[in-house]
């Protein structure tokens, strides 16, 4: 079991990649502290995992709240004795549109949820990992703003590109603490955020070299690799798991 007895925080766990990751991590032996804004969803997932013999607790709320980031770490320490890893996956896309027409409220909201939450996560998770003698952090970023630019997504791209910069600095600052830090860059994935317009989804799928979108499990599997000891010499990376989106021009 790749994650046996590892205590892992998973944010954005109510659906999509986060929910798929939680189920997968639990099946691989992890003890989970789950977070999402939708309390009913994250409670249902927690109950599902525990009823299947896994170990999971949850804290509902917004990761953009520093107190929430702190409470997740404290819960990991109180219930499971410490923290070994975190999949900081929660994020929003925000309103799409060109920058001259974008409201400052939207800009600030997207950066706060996607990037400032990463700062809060690292601020509270890293001291806990040090107490355990090391560990692994993974932040969900994106190829948008890293390998390609997509119209109307400036706030999203800027916030997620910022996570890559944060990842690189944290990896350098804490390598000697035996803490690995990586960013995961998914391609188009079949989640609620992607919507349900079949024509739009088909178009997005066509942007990828594989000519399809990812299933949430496929991205979760990559996150599990980065969180597990199988990636023991991987740190500071922006790991692209995008089905060839970044290199496709056909």
Catalytic residues, by residue number, are: 156
Cβ-based neighbour number of residue 67 at 10 Å: 11
Q: CA–CA distance from 110 to each of 104, 106, 154 (Å)?
A: 10, 6, 10
Main-chain phi, psi angles of 8, to 5 degrees: -130, 130
Query: What count of Cα atoms within 13 Å lies in the side-chain half-sphere of residue 153?
Result: 15
| Phi, psi for 89 (deg, rounded to 5) | -110, -15
Cα separation of 47 and 53, whole Å? 10
DSSP letters for 175-189: GGGTEEEEEEEE-SB
- DSSP conformation letters of 202-248: HHHHHTSTTSSPBPHHHHHHHHHHHHSGGGTT--S-EEEESTTGGG-
Contact status, residue 180 vs residue 228, Cβ threshold 8 Å:
no
Distance CA 192, CA 149 (A): 22
**CB contact at 8 A, 10 and 88:** no
């Amino acid at each position: 079991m790749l994650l046996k007895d590892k205590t892992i925080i998973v944010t954005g766990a109510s659906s999509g990649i986060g929910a798929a990751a939680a189920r997968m991590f639990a099946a691989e032996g992890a003890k989970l502290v789950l977070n999402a804004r939708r309390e009913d969803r994250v409670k249902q997932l927690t109950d599902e995992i525990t009823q299947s013999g896994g170990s999971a607790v949850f804290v509902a709320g917004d990761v953009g709240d520093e107190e929430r980031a702190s409470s997740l770490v404290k819960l990991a320490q109180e219930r499971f004795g410490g923290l070994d890893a975190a999949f900081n996956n929660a994020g929003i896309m925000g309103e799409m549109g060109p920058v001259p027409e974008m409201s400052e409220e939207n800009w600030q909201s997207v950066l706060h949820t996607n990037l400032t939450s990463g700062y809060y996560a690292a601020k509270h998770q890293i001291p806990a990992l040090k107490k355990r003698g090391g560990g692994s952090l993974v932040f969900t970023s994106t190829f948008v703003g890293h390998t390609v630019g997509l119209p109307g997504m400036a706030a999203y791209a800027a916030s997620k590109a910022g996570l890559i910069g944060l990842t690189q600095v944290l990896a350098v600052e804490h390598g000697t603490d035996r803490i690995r830090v990586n960013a995961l860059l998914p391609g188009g994935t079949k989640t609620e955020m992607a919507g349900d317009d079949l024509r739009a989804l088909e178009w997005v799928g066509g942007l990828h070299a594989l000519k399809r979108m990812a299933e949430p499990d496929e991205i979760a599997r990559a996150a599990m690799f980065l969180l597990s000891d199988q990636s023991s010499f991987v740190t500071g990376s922006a790991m692209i798991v995008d089905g060839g989106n970044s290199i496709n021009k056909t």
